[in-house]
Amino acid sequence: MKAIQQFNNTHVLVLGLAVSGYSATNLLLKLGAKVTVNDFKNLDDDDQANELKSRGVTVVSGSHPLELLDQQVDYIVKNPGIPYSNSLLREAIKRSIPIYTEIELAYLVSESPIVAITGTNGKTTTTKMIEAVLDAERSSGQVYAVGNIGTPASLLTQTSTSEDDIVMEVSSFQLMGTEQFKPHIAIILNIYSAHLDYHKTRDEYVKAKLAITKNQTEADVLIYNADQSELSDWVMNNSKAKRLPFSRKKQLETGVYLKNNTIVFNGETVMKVADVTIPGEHNLENALAAIAVAKLKGVTNETIRKVFNQFKGVPHRMQYVDQVYGRDIYNDSKATNTLATVHALKGFNKPLVLIAGGLDRGETFQDLMPVLSERVKGLVTFGESAAKLAEVAKQAGVNQVVEVKTVREATQAAFQLSEEGDTILLSPACASWDQYDNFELRGNDFLEQIERIKQEN
């Protein structure tokens, strides 16, 4: 950890405890700051809050009182989920109090080179791909996957060294407002419209994503999706980094692309497309980005091939589960919108029974119709959007459509609709909040039901 003096003897307000706030507080204490933690939730019975109190941290919970700013506050470190429209943050901006994000704090102390990944879709899978390929046959140091993937960046950068690699998944929430954050290698996988409830406009959302490269120089690298013309234009106009494109659709002069069913990096054949065993065109794009990082880091082609040949995906993200009674089972519970399910379905060519449903958040599901017509032999719908999805499937010409209430019922119904040689895919196209707190719980419910079915005979 770099021994920076910026926060020594300063007063820092950490806004939002949670996992990243707790980690940031610990780091700030090591850097000599006097810390106040504020959370909208009541933290009277919170173990982490009480532990911080025992170490001299002031904890204020139950609201975000503006009076906190009447005390000396030199910096604010905010939880990414708290928008800048928060009244306390708006007042802090008026008073010109610097507002940091946890990833920026982590960057300031990191001795390790940082590979940062952002995009609307595919961040976690790409992060895990990069972690796997950089960790394979490594001679020194370690690889740490951190950030939006779950482990706070500020936790690992306290102990990582120059021999290690930090692979950091970063969301638009985390990037928005960064001032100094500068990864050595940055990746923008794709940009679609998302999180407009937080960012208010698409332009603000795009601006947040592009913050990943705004401080990069010619000594750094930006890897980006050349198949998105709008993204390519933004990159050309907004990044000073060395630009390295990847493309699934066209051959490039430099970068990573496909040629004759092989993956090519700067004219050199790396491996066969078939060596990427996780299905889906979007996952092939994720792999191209990860391969670009691997080649930049000097990983051999044989090691890259081995890693991708064995990579089976991330839980709840096009995760291959098992073959049960001749059916291949995939768990894509993370598919919480139509676009994600379209991408998932395009990854399969053999007969498929889809399980979909949940909270639709106002979607019409019309974009599903072409791929339902082309790829799906049967659909089982569940949850709040069951009837709406069923009607769309019938319009698309899907002959076998079953409506049920729960994921467990849907899993049983999918086995009844399918036969040996088919694929059963949970890819809900909806949020989980009608029945579950998050998509992980929904996916776990599906996995538990698969286990029950396996044990029936």
**Would you kindly state where each structural domain of the chain is located, as residue ranges?**
11-97, 104-310, 319-454
The CATH homologous superfamily for domain 104-310 is: Mur-like, catalytic domain (3.40.1190.10)
Q: Which fold has domain 319-454?
A: Protein-Tyrosine Phosphatase; Chain A (3.90.190)
Mean pLDDT of 394-413: 97
SS3 432: coil
Which residues, 6+ apart, have CB-to-CB distance to 322 below 8 Å?
329, 450, 454
Alpha-carbon distance of 121 to 280, in angstroms, equals 13
Is 104-310 in the same CATH topology as 11-97? no
**Residue range 87-92: average pLDDT?**
96
pLDDT surpassing 80 at residue 197: no
Side-chain-facing half-sphere of 449: CA atoms under 13 Å? 21
For helices 301-310 and 281-296, angle between their N-to-C axes, nearest 10 degrees:
150
pLDDT at 208: 82
Which pLDDT belongs to residue 198? 53
Classify each residue of 325-351 as buried b or exposed e, where b means 16 or more C-beta atoms within 10 Å of its C-beta: eebbbbbbbbbbbbbbbbbbbebbeee
The confidence score (pLDDT) of residue 200 equals: 61
Checking if the pLDDT of 195 tops 90, the result is no
Q: Which whole number is the average pLDDT over 378-401?
A: 97
Q: Please, what is the end-to-end C-alpha distance for the chain in angstroms?
A: 55
Return the pLDDT at 141.
96
Average pLDDT over residues 402-416: 97
Residue 280's pLDDT is 85
- Average model confidence (pLDDT) for the chain? 94
Res 199 pLDDT > 70: no
55 has a pLDDT exceeding 60: yes
Q: Among 3.40.50.720, 3.40.630.10, 1.20.1630.10, 3.90.380.10, what is the CATH number of 11-97?
A: 3.40.50.720
Where does the pLDDT of residue 363 fall: very low under 50, low under 70, confident under 90, or very high at 90 and above? confident
Whether residue 196 has pLDDT greater than 80: no
Q: What angle (nearest 5°) sits at the alpha carbon of residue 26, between those of residues 22 and 28?
A: 115
Q: Give the pTM.
A: 0.82
pLDDT at 401 over 80: yes
Burial (CB count <10 Å: 0-12, 13-18, 19+), residue 97 = middle
Confidence class for position 206, pLDDT limits 50, 70, 90: confident
